[in-house]
């Protein structure tokens, strides 16, 4: 009893110390993660300030706000977008409806439903901002949702870069570039739709990266079990990558950042593959959520379809490649014949179901546009469908015809092939002001103007376009570098499909959807540099890149945000005739 008492008394302090050490280790392990999130929030707060300060300016309907803000307002109040007159009478004089709308006369819509050519999700996002921030009488509320979306995109951008490159300086640089780019700023400060596509697909991309990490961990865990079995069967790996690995030592291989365990490294260097299929990795909640987000993006504009195709393909390829890296023989056949069909089996319905859910308002309101088309056109359209779906399909046929035949002239029409170089930016707003407010007071003899020009920071877009080209070269040379293929998948999914619509009326601000991958291309090349130079040299390269970009953004910020400036100041930003 005495011994028991003494022993128990001696073990209690040690147990306390052990528990304290465990808690300390947990806190130390969590510290980098907490610091990374703190830095992420600080960068996002900086970008948010650039988006929210003077968000209500200009107090005018800017570019296509004439469609989307007014549609969102009528959807909020009546459930469906309504037609508006072009002019309203006030005091015996006709005024443009947009002018009166901006002055607070916001309830003059007509009773008829409007023909809209984009799905409803983006306008419902704008409507949420109208609901939360004071209604259509407050111009801040028109743009609140886009500003929030633009700020969220900065957070996601940092986390995506951190997952891809596992370096905080690279990740924070990505967030900083997103914060200060002109296309990102102007689309965050204007009640248009495209910023929502960007944030939804970027979020989906992040979720697919999470799925990849989850799949890798699951494969490694199962591989360790399968390889330890007595009856495990091994076959030679005759791939070109295996022959390269044969020439490396086990020690060199263990320093590879992609090597997950010494067992795997030894097996890979012996050029042997486990003759097994491995676990099923087709389904994860990350991938399911990604399908929903891409469905939301498609519910903003149909261009989300292209991201669905690009991301599904790259994600399935990742699954197959991770099987190979884990050491499984049947990696390609399993990826194509098992993972791919199972992935499509749930991702496609989730994507399509999310898109259809955005149209619930159209289905439940009997006076929505073309709601009764099937009843009024018996025997036409897809006749085997129920009336409601037949009308819905015909509406989509009409939308498709609009989008594929739109070739009306416009002063700011821009060839999609020129978007990455920002050859023809879009002028959202231009106004000559009376007096000399703001910066105009510095030039009292000059005309005062206010402008919103959707022009990206030239250094970001030109450098990004160069890095995309360099990335393509690296992708050809380094077959196994999955990160550059990830970057190119997003870039090509957002840009290349527009090459089939060169005749169509398009605008450079559509390029907001490829901005994240323009930035990630810069980060990829930067990471290649970082790995081959000293820490001091890397810091110099980073500063030499970011400082000029920040200065250029500071220079352009007034003409991105409708600040009153002297005409000569505005003109000094028009470096090329195509920018005017």
Task: Give the pLDDT confidence of 487-517 residue by residue, as tens digits.
Answer: 999 999 999 889 888 888 999 999 999 999 9
Long-range pairs, 279-282, Cβ under 8 A, ≥24: 279/218, 279/219, 279/222, 280/338, 280/339, 280/342, 281/214, 281/215, 281/218, 281/219, 281/319, 281/322, 281/323, 281/339, 282/319, 282/338, 282/339, 282/340, 282/342, 282/343
pLDDT over 70 for what percent of the chain? Answer: 88
Express as a percent the part of the chain with pLDDT over 90.
71
Model pLDDT, residue 31: 67
Highest mean pLDDT among 41-50, 84-93, 261-270 belongs to 41-50
Position 571 scores a pLDDT of 96
Position 475 scores a pLDDT of 85
* pLDDT of 228: 80
Confidence of residue 74 (pLDDT cuts 50, 70, 90): very high
What's the average model confidence in pLDDT over 143-151? 98
Separation CA 406–CA 386 (nearest Å): 30
Report pTM.
Answer: 0.89
Is the pLDDT confidence value at 240 over 90?
no
- What's the whole-number mean pLDDT along residues 216-237? 80
pLDDT at position 278: 84
Angle at CA of residue 183, ends 472 and 84, nearest 5°: 130
Residues paired with residue 94 on neighbouring β-strands, in sequence order? 89
In the predicted structure, residue 253 carries a pLDDT above the cut 60? no
> Could you say which DSSP state residue 19 is in?
H
Confidence of residue 243 (pLDDT cuts 50, 70, 90): low
The pLDDT of residue 267: 40
Instruction: List the single range of 203-212, 297-306, 402-411 with lowest mean pLDDT.
Output: 402-411
What is the rounded average pLDDT of the residues 366-376? 93
pLDDT higher than threshold 60 for residue 249: no
Average pLDDT over the chain reads 88
135 pLDDT above the threshold of 90: yes
- Provide the pLDDT for residue 235: 75
């Amino acid at each position: 009893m005495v011994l028991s008492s003494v022993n128990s008394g001696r073990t209690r302090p040690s147990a306390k110390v052990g528990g304290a050490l465990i808690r300390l280790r947990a806190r130390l392990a969590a510290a980098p993660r907490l610091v990374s999130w703190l830095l992420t929030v600080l960068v996002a707060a900086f970008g948010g300030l650039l988006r929210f300060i003077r968000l209500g300016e200009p107090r005018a309907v800017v570019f296509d706000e004439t469609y989307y803000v007014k549609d969102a307002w009528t959807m909020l109040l009546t459930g469906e977008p309504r037609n508006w007159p072009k002019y309203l009478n006030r005091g015996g004089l006709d005024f443009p409806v947009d002018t009166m709308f901006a002055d607070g006369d916001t309830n003059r819509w007509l009773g008829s439903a409007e023909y809209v050519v984009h799905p409803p999700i983006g306008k419902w996002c704008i409507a949420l901002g109208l609901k939360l921030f004071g209604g259509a009488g407050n111009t801040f509320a028109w743009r609140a949702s886009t500003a929030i979306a633009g700020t969220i995109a900065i957070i996601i951008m940092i986390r995506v870069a951190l997952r891809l490159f596992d370096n905080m300086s690279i990740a924070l640089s990505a967030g900083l570039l997103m914060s200060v780019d002109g296309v990102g700023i102007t689309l965050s400060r204007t009640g248009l739709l495209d910023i929502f596509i960007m944030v939804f697909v970027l979020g989906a991309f992040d979720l697919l990266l999470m799925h990849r990490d989850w799949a890798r961990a699951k494969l490694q865990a199962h591989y360790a079990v399968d390889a330890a079995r007595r009856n495990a069967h091994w076959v030679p790996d005759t791939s070109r990558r295996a022959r390269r690995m044969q020439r490396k030592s086990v020690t060199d291989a263990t320093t590879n950042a992609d090597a997950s365990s010494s067992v795997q490294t030894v097996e890979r260097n012996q050029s042997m593959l486990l003759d097994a299929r491995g676990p099923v990795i087709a389904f994860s909640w990350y991938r399911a959520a990604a399908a929903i987000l891409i469905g939301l993006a498609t519910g903003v504009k149909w261009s989300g379809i292209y991201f669905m195709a690009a991301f599904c393909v790259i994600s399935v390829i990742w699954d197959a490649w991770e099987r190979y890296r884990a050491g499984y023989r049947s990696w390609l056949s399993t990826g194509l014949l098992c993972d791919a069909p199972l992935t499509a089996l749930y991702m496609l319905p989730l994507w399509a179901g999310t898109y259809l859910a955005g149209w619930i308002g159209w289905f439940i309101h009997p006076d929505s546009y073309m709601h009764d088309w099937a009843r009024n056109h018996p025997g036409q359209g897809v006749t085997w469908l129920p009336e409601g779906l037949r009308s819905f399909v015909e509406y989509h046929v009409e939308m498709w015809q609009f989008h594929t035949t739109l070739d009306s002239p416009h002063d700011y029409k821009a060839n999609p092939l020129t978007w990455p170089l920002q050859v023809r930016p879009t002028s959202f707003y231009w106004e000559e002001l009376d007096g000399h407010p703001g910066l105009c007071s510095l030039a009292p003899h000059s005309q005062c103007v206010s402008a919103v020009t959707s022009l990206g920071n030239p250094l970001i877009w030109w450098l990004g376009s160069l890095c995309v080209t360099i990335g393509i070269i690296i992708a050809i040379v380094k077959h196994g570098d999955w990160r550059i293929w990830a970057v190119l998948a997003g870039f090509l999914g957002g840009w290349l499909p527009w090459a089939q619509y060169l005749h169509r009326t398009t605008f450079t601000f559509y390029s907001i959807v490829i901005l994240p991958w323009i930035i990630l291309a810069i980060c990829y090349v930067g990471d290649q540099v970082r790995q081959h130079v000293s820490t001091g040299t890397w810091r110099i390269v980073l500063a030499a890149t970011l400082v000029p970009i920040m200065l250029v953004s500071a220079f352009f910020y007034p003409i991105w945000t409708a600040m009153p400036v002297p005409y000569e100041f505005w003109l000094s930003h028009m470096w090329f005739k195509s920018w005017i």
